[in-house]
Amino acid sequence: MATILEESGFSPDRKLKIVGTNPVKHDGLDKVTGRAKFGADFFLPGMLVGKILRSPHPHAVIKSIDTSAAAALPGVKAVITRDDFPDLPKGTPGGDLTRNVIAREKVLYEGHVVAAVAATSESIAKKALKLIKVDYEPLPHVIDPAEAMKPDAPILHDHLRTKGVKDGGDKPTNVVERLDLAMGNVDKGFAEADVIVEQEFDSKPMHQGYIEPQGCVATCTEDGQVWLWCCTQAPFVYRDRLSQLLKLDASKICVQQSELGGGFGGKTGFYGEPLAIVLSRKAKRPVKIVLTRAEVFRGTGPVSATKSRIKMGVTKDGKITAAEAELIFQTGAFTGSMFVNAPQAMFTRYNLENVKTVSYEVVSNRPKVNSFRAPCVPQIVFGVEGVINELARKIGMDPIDLRLRNAATEGYKTIYGDVFGPIGFVETLEAAKKSDHYTSPKKPGTGRGVAAGFWFNRGGETSTSLNVAPDGSVTIITGTADVAGSRISISMMAAEELGVPVDKVRVNMADTHSLGFNRVTAGSRTTYSVGMTVVDSARQVIRELCRRAAGIWGVPEEGVVFEDGHCRPASSNVGEFEPLSVADIARKTTGSHGALVASTSMNVTGAGPGFGLHIVDVEVDKETGAAKVLRYTVVEDAGKAIHPLQVEGQYQGGAVQGIGWALNEEYIYGEDGKLQNPSFLDYRMPVASDVPMIDTEIVEVPNPRHPFGLRGVGEVPVVPTMAAIANAIGDAIGVRPRSLPMSPPKLLKLIEQTKQG
């Protein structure tokens, strides 16, 4: 498994030439000229168009499916149903996986896939869908997670029993799991408090909202090997899950990722891709499936709706003594919400000793949720940071000071057992307090709010290789996705290490045949983890360069050092030799010694946690209830910003997604259990005129486990956003909202209440 980067070699004194600058990203030119190929931009000769039939019912038994008329339509080359997939056992990960790809016994949400066709044109494929006859027996449905927990609620899965409950009983339930996570003694903690605040909150699902709908092309060889082109955050995970789903060796499946037109967690699991593969196998031709926007809304992962009760206590002098929470997460029709993140992260950033949480994950008749930046955390932090502001108000303390008073520092043992290394929460809070935004008065009639957020940041299995061409230029092969510009950051780290210009380094995103397993590109893990493996490979290459330079000079290996991109004699005792650059050695020795290459495969650990504080000013129109964000500042610790413009972009993009979640975005269901707003017109994401410039301040408290000190930066920016906006709205109208989204009708009601009260 090659060498492991045991010593990162991080030094705060290292003089960096490339890291910390803003070179143009290498994939940029193709993107501004329209040449970059995304999921839907690929064609193969003889390719068919695949279309999907979806359930009109939120919950129904599929009694029969008759595809004969569709199959007989000229131009239709394949029709598939549940019968074309291996029947994996219910209640297992594979069983859930296959049932979400295509319904088997029952449809579990409106938009659940029932059948698919491949035809020579889109119009024929659409006509064929209308000829498929499905006999449904509709069942009662349940949308709301609290309703789904009731004993008489319609049951989605007969086999389901609650995990984590001693006496789970024999009765089927919609509660997938109960998770208790606690530390210290909350009774003692609350007894020590002078002020206790307990409030309830709720949130609705929002969609990741990537602009590129899922698109793929699948083709199969005569002997059943699969080649799949698709936009994905997880080519290797797709391969391995396809292997499970299709009962095919992973080595017979090759996934080639396209450019990714946004994912934000939503492209970590597949939807139409297995359908395209099975259609292609049946039709013996390549098949392309591109989802429509309505299909994206109805059939792909929104985030969890939540309900929460949060209680915290504080002493008069600002010490938070205890925190307690009860949390409910709606996971859609199948488990997989990653709700465990929430009890682990919701209070983590404060040095609390007494914490008690109880969390429930619940299924209901909605599409299975998928990841979104810091899965399940922001909608809970929406409540936590509101309670903290309320505590600050009640004891008459500045809200940032209260957070500083309780800020976790190095050595704090978290509720999930990790002990913090060097972290930058205090530095982040101090920077926010000194910021121009916080020190400037707010405009009359507006409200200001602050909120803090935390994310673990992740590492995980990462495999890359690095090759030096005979001319000294460098190619890097990665198996992670580039969700927003990681290729340039990876090039920069390799260039810095090897002392070559960044333009001499190119990163290629390989297919799954070309590298070892790479975990999903998510959790703010990629630039960190790939940085580790690529630096490891660069150091292997440097060792080999020194060996070869020693050979050229006829001196012992230890007589050669590598500095500033060149092999040099370690001292004048070694002899007088002209320094040799990477290109010099590659040119001179590739013929004699073979290419300079290195591969690194690691399960990367040591990710440095990230912390942020957001400051926001809002204005609320008291006639319409519409809130408008006037000024926004993100302060966040990046450890080290490899490419500061890209780091700022993460902060800004996360904040604006949070503004959408805070003020507008939600899944709206009718009594009939059908989604009422599956379009960008009715599901309204922020547009340019809705938001101001987003100011950013990058704090840099290095993570010494990484050669350049970096931390992930992608998740934290959305964690405190809705909380900060809610706190600002509370400041503006006198009552702090507790329900997301804070849409005009809800705010109008609150304004009315304050008038009456």
Partner 1 sequence: MAKKYHVTTTVNGDEYEVLCEPQQTLLDVLRDELQLTGTKEGCATGDCGACSVMLDGELVCACLVLGVEADGKKVETIEGMGNEKELHPLQRNFLELNGLQCGICTPGILVAAKALLERNPDPTEMEVRYWLAGNLCRCTGYDKIIRSVLATAKEIRGGA
Residues that bind partner 1 (CB under 8 A): 22, 24-25, 27-29, 31-38, 40-41, 43, 74-75, 121-124, 208-213, 259-264, 290, 292-293, 483-485, 645-646, 648-649, 652-657, 679-681, 685-691, 693-694
By beta-carbon proximity to partner 1, the closer residue of 398 and 690 is 690
CB of 496 to partner 1, least distance (A): 19
Q: Contact 636/699 with Cβ under 8 angstroms?
A: yes
- Residue 417, SS3? coil
By beta-carbon proximity to partner 1, the closer residue of 42 and 611 is 42
For 546, list phi and psi in degrees, rounded to 5: -65, -40
CB of 657 to partner 1, least distance (A): 7
For 598, list phi and psi in degrees, rounded to 5: -155, 145
Cα Rg of the chain, angstroms: 27
Q: Which two tokens stand for residue 346?
A: 């919701």
By beta-carbon proximity to partner 1, the closer residue of 38 and 517 is 38
Residue pointed to by tokens 């630039």: 527
Q: Contact 153/142 with Cβ under 8 angstroms?
A: yes
CB of 689 to partner 1, least distance (A): 4
By beta-carbon proximity to partner 1, the closer residue of 153 and 509 is 509
d(CA 219, CA 288) in angstroms, rounded, equals 9
By beta-carbon proximity to partner 1, the closer residue of 292 and 590 is 292
By beta-carbon proximity to partner 1, the closer residue of 61 and 645 is 645
By beta-carbon proximity to partner 1, the closer residue of 318 and 375 is 375
CB of 177 to partner 1, least distance (A): 31
DSSP states along 171-203: S--SEEEEEEEEES-HHHHHHH-SEEEEEEEEE
By beta-carbon proximity to partner 1, the closer residue of 28 and 168 is 28
- Residue 38, SS3? strand
CB of 650 to partner 1, least distance (A): 8
Q: Contact 490/241 with Cβ under 8 angstroms?
A: no
DSSP states along 581-612: EHHHHHHHHHHHH--EEEEEEEEE--PPPEEE
By beta-carbon proximity to partner 1, the closer residue of 40 and 255 is 40
By beta-carbon proximity to partner 1, the closer residue of 173 and 652 is 652
By beta-carbon proximity to partner 1, the closer residue of 457 and 646 is 646
Closest by CA position to 499, among listed 559, 575, 584: 584
- Evaluated on CA atoms 547, 549, 555, 560, the torsion sign reads negative
CB of 653 to partner 1, least distance (A): 5
Closest by CA position to 678, among listed 111, 51, 99: 111
CB of 752 to partner 1, least distance (A): 30
CB of 543 to partner 1, least distance (A): 35
CB of 55 to partner 1, least distance (A): 22
CB of 36 to partner 1, least distance (A): 6
CB of 502 to partner 1, least distance (A): 14
By beta-carbon proximity to partner 1, the closer residue of 293 and 588 is 293
Q: Which two tokens stand for residue 238?
A: 């797709």
Q: Are strands 355-362 and 320-330 parallel, antiparallel or unpaired?
A: parallel
Closest by CA position to 537, among listed 507, 568, 569: 507
d(CA 201, CA 181) in angstroms, rounded, equals 20
Host H or E run for residue 136:
strand 133-138
Cβ neighbours for 392, distance < 8 A, ≥ 6 positions apart: 318, 398, 399, 401, 402
CB of 680 to partner 1, least distance (A): 4
d(CA 612, CA 567) in angstroms, rounded, equals 42
Give the sheet arrangement for strand 133-138, strand by strand: 106-107, 60-66, 133-138
By beta-carbon proximity to partner 1, the closer residue of 260 and 616 is 260
DSSP states along 653-695: HHHHHHHHHHHT----B-TTS-BS--STTTS----GGG---EE
DSSP states along 488-532: HHHHHHHHHHHT--GGGEEEEE--TTSSS----S-SS-HHHHHHH
CB of 425 to partner 1, least distance (A): 23
